[in-house]
A and B are shown apart, each in its own frame.
Chain A
Amino acid sequence: MSADIQNDGDSKPASTEATVSLPATGIAVVERKEPPPEKESDTQRRSWIVLSFWLIAVFIGLPIWWNTTTIYRANLPLTQMTDWADGKACEPVFPLRIALDVGSLPEQEAQNLLRLTQHALDDLNDFSGHHLRLQLAQAPTEATVQARDDSNVALTIRLAPGDAAHTASSSLHPHLPILDVQYPPNSLPTANSPSSGLATYIATQLGATFAEEQNIISYLLETSSITPEHRPKGISQEVVDTVSKRMTRSLKYSQTYHLSFSLFTNGPVPSSWDIEAAIDEYMKPVLDMLRPIHDFTIDTQVQLYASPGVQSQVLGKEDLSSFINAAEWPLSPSIGGAPTVNFIVYIGNQTIGVPSETDAVETSQSWMIPQWGSVYLLAPPAEAAHVSSETLKQPILTFTSHLLTLLGTPQSGSLPLRLSTLARIRSADLLLRASSSLGSLARLTLALPSISIPSNVADGVVKTIQHLELACAGLGGAKSLEHARIAEAEAERAFFEKSMVGQLYFPDEHKVAVYLPLLGPIGVPLVMGLLNEIKAWKTRRNQKLKAA
């Protein structure tokens, strides 16, 4: 140091002196000495300590951390679920039995006709989803037809010999599922003939009767989640268009529907209506027929001073969608789970300007709002304050036909046939819906590994599959609708499980923020200790090897 100061003004470089002067700072003056050799027991003890810390961390710390932070995921039968969604688990086939009531024909001829007609049917019908099976009717009276209503006989063909001069003719019974066929007596097939005009005729008639149902079921299969190899052959584009137009209008299936009838008037009158009598008279019969498929509750209301959403005198097509004044009209859905169908009678002077082009049901006074209900414009009645049940006849009849459309009833055929078709369509629909819900749930489970799956979801899935199997086994029967309904409800409940919808979301930054302050200061000494220990162990081994 002193040398430094003396050399200050000097030009002589002081590099050698400087290195000497370094120890003057007094830090590293000490001479390096080897530490005394460590005792064997100490080294061993240190290894044990490091080892035990690691054992505790791995065998106690990790399991505790895993158990407290892991998300509960119940076991779901994923392959089974995807099988259902892909249509591998169930072939949607409707075996429809059709009874052939041959009247007075002898047994032999009847069997012959049956065989030929079945042949003709099988030739005609290339749709695998529908199996029309003919059988001979036992006791062909109207009473038994009604009594066997719940059996699988979808239609009875009543053969009766008619005029010889005419060709065969057929007509559907308006109130019973019966197809009356009048045939010329000479058209009966002989015992050995390979084909018969009558058999072909009956087969064609049957095909025509069930054509719409076939189309709808094909459409349902087409639009479902079922993979192409598992569904029957496709249908033409125009059929898809017409059916999809009709199907998108109809409401989602439910056991119960609330029917809400509302009378809206622009001014203070009329303020009362004979709605109860009108419904009893004009709508009740149809509702009673629908009972096996749906339940209905009815409420009515009168609302005065209700101004529509569109004020113009003549309503154009685009006005119809905004006519309902949703902000002011009290059309809140009914309380309780079932969907509400709204029927509105609006009393005012407005008319519809656009003639309906496609749909014959729409008159110039009413229109249907898909999946919601229907509106009927009624001119103010002569008796200003009261709307009589007679005035309500036309609106209620219109509403009834709209209701059938909203429920998804097919449009051709007699009413009983349409309703039994409705039951089959609905069970197919529910079956496919439940299957696709299962598929979605399976995909969701796989896609979100951090979502928790409570055990009641697993229960719901098991229940769904169980009821789906039952429904699939008895497809076309009366019980299948019930099972499909339960399956669908269970599947929806499992999919929309509350605790799954609001899944806990921890972003990775949060995890780092929570774990780093703890794991950093603990993990570093642990890891360093382990590394040092391994190093020491290696050197010891090398020394031993050298010594050896």
Chain B
Amino acid sequence: MQPFSLSSLIPLLTFLVSFVAASSAAPAADYHEQLNLKPLPQNSLLASFNFRSNTSLPEFEAHNFRFFPRSLGQILQHAGTRELHLRFSLGRWDAETWGARPWDGTKEGGTGVELWAWLEAESDEEADHKWLTLTNALSGLFCASLNFIDSTRTTRPVMSFRPEGDHPNTTMANMHLLHGVLPREVVCTENLTPFLKLLPCKGKAGVSSLLDGHKLFDASWQSMAIDVKPVCPAGEECVLQIEQTIDMVLDIERSKRPRDNPIPRPIPSHELKCNTTKPYHADDTCFPTDSLNAQEWTLNQIFGKSMLGKCPLTDPNVPPVCIQAPHTRDVFTSMDVQEVKEPGNENQRCYLLPSNEEEFHLALPFMPRDGDRPKTDADEFVQPATPLLYAERSLTGHGQEHGGVQAILTNPSPDAEVEFVYMESLPWFMRIYLHTLKARISHRTGSDAGQTLRDDDDVIKEIYYRPFLDRQRGTQLEIRMKIPPGSTVFMAYDFEKTILRYTEYPPDANRGFDVAAAVITILPSNSTGGRAARMSNLRTTGMLLNLPTPDFSMPYNVIIFTSTCIALAFGGLYNILVRRFVGRDEGPEVSLVKLQKRLQEAAQRVKERVQERLGVAGKGAKKVEGKTD
């Protein structure tokens, strides 16, 4: 017995020693990663990955990189960037169904790529120069067309963004905020690979091992975010923090499709869920039910990969995986996994993983909706919180010349008003008429509930407008608004479409031009405590603007057409000036008349010869006849 226990003790001891060494060399707070899973209504699942690493500022200045990626760090130093925010987004967040956004919307961007940064510079020109350096370098690092963020796509927001980091007051005075969007950029796998390369565990261990381009970019909505900011915790040394976040809403049925056979197939008719209350329901007709299948999935199924243990650089006391589901929801995990429940939060369960590198499994089994103990939707998922504001934006009008934009902003709260800044950065070829900007309001509650829309100048509190300059910069429009409880504001303005130059059209000009999403920053309200204590964000969808498109063979047509005109005018003029006019019978024979004469002569000769032949033949025939007679 004795030797056995000793031998089993030795590896444990070495393990402990190495563990102590590891934790002494790497302070626990240097790297953090977590995956938050949150089942949503209608068979969706929100997965939020969060990775955070710190480096002390002296280490950063000395170019010693450990958890902070060297490639990004060098770019930041070279471009004098004090704070950086980079977003890659795809899809639309369905606020009606999914409720409030993750991270209060602060870690998402508009469709495409969005970048904003605070640069330290003495003057605006220097800031522009550094911005150019930054966009070009990031474009190479993330394989995105960020270098196309030129002056026409760059704005300097005034009311919308605030620095998130702790900056000393001395640098704060010289910091310039620049913001650029590429709404047309298609986010794809080539952007995920460099994103994963920045992580210390590189997708080889820990929650990042679940990330896979096929599933991520197949999601209904996804947003990748990189935030770099200095953080000064009270009483501690300042650190530079890089936070990488990936949020995605997976359609469970869709992501469960096997990877080698991803083509969707029609469901067999006996598996269709039909609404039997419809009068036309029969064997061959089916109206699909609203309530879809109960959720049933495992981590491997929906991500297509399994999670390879945990990243050993993290604090062993911080659980890497959490799930937000009602406590009545059954959740199964692999062995040796310790479940942790936060005391205040009923609906959250977290899982502490053992230190070995075994795969972590998590399964949410099927919960029958009938039988002895029928389960309901309330057991499947936590009812999503209502967002502070609903926003949608669309193009109105028709024709090739004029158009309009309408934004519908709804405050769903029954008792709290909401104050926010609505920011549009529009391309220069959308010439907006600011005087047509109008806000109309409709109340859902109160004395005038349900009445028709009426104009309301009280809604708009403040406007910051920086007009466009042709081919130099776009329109920047920031509007601070306040919407009373339970009301909807319809904000609209008109614009005129520009005809671009021939070379300014993209290759597929008839597709239209993407207009960046409007950024809505909900300001923290101090009156109604609790809900909106922090700044939160919201973005509308992008728009596709159709501009009058020319015929692209135009230059050649123009060349031919003008040449013809000149030739006609010149030839006529020249001939009149130079020719001598004489009577018809006086001039030399015109070559055309000569030709005609010659042709007629030739025709005559041919005719004669034919006639001659015919004549000879006719006589011969008569002779033959005469003989037979």
Contacts and interface: CB of A to CB of B under 8 A. Distances in A.
Interface of A: 9-15, 18-19, 22, 25, 27-28, 30-36, 38, 42, 46, 49-50, 53, 260, 268-269, 271-272, 275-276, 297-306, 328, 330, 332, 334-336, 383-386, 513-514, 517-518, 520-522, 525-526, 529, 532
B25 A302 contact: no
Given A53-B574, A385-B18, A335 B75 contact: yes
Given A11-B619, A33-B583, A271-B66, A525 B570 contact: yes
Tell me the interface secondary structure of chain B in the complex. helix
12 contacts: A11-B618, A11-B619, A28-B597, A32-B585, A46-B580, A268-B201, A269-B18, A330-B70, A384-B22, A517-B563, A518-B559, A525-B571
B197 A328 contact: yes
Interface in B556-577: 556, 559-560, 563-564, 566-568, 570-571, 574-575, 577
A303 B66 CA distance: 8
Contact of B71 (A42, A330, A517, A521): A330
Which interface residue of A32, A297, A385, A386 has the most chain B CB atoms within 10 A? A385
Contact of A304 (B313, B578, B586, B596): B313
Interface stretch (B113-121, B265-273, B607-615): B607-615
Interface in B159-189: none
Nearest to B202: A305
B600 interface: yes
A121 B174 CA distance: 65
Nearest to B572: A525
Contact of B597 (A27, A269, A275, A305): A27
Given A11-B618, A268-B311, A304-B313, A529 B66 contact: no
A238 B62 CA distance: 45
A385 B600 contact: no
B615 A10 contact: yes
A391 to B, nearest CB: 14
B586 A518 contact: no
Contacts of B70: 260, 299, 301, 330
B555 to A, nearest CB: 10
Contact of B202 (A27, A272, A304, A517): A304
A517 B560 contact: yes
Given A49-B578, A301-B66, A336-B78, A15 B608 contact: yes
Which interface residue of B22, B205, B564 has the most chain A CB atoms within 10 A? B22
B315 to A, nearest CB: 14
A297 B616 contact: no
B204 interface: yes
Contacts of A33: 583, 585-586
A327 to B, nearest CB: 9
Contacts of B75: 335
B563 A518 contact: yes
A268 to B, nearest CB: 4
B506 interface: no
A12 B22 CA distance: 128
Nearest to A519: B563
Contacts of A330: 69-71, 197
Contacts of A332: 71, 140-141
B396 interface: no
Interface in B57-90: 62-67, 69-71, 74-75, 78
B588 to A, nearest CB: 9
Contacts of A272: 25-26, 66
Contacts of A386: 21, 25
B74 A335 contact: yes
B578 A46 contact: yes
Given A35-B587, A335-B74, 14 more contacts: A22-B600, A49-B577, A276-B62, A301-B65, A302-B66, A384-B18, A385-B25, A513-B556, A521-B567, A521-B571, A522-B567, A522-B571, A525-B574, A526-B574
Contacts of A22: 600-601, 604
Given A10-B615, A11-B615, A22-B604, A268 B63 contact: no
Contacts of B583: 33, 35
B387 interface: no
Contacts of A36: 582, 586
A303 B204 CA distance: 12
Nearest to B567: A521
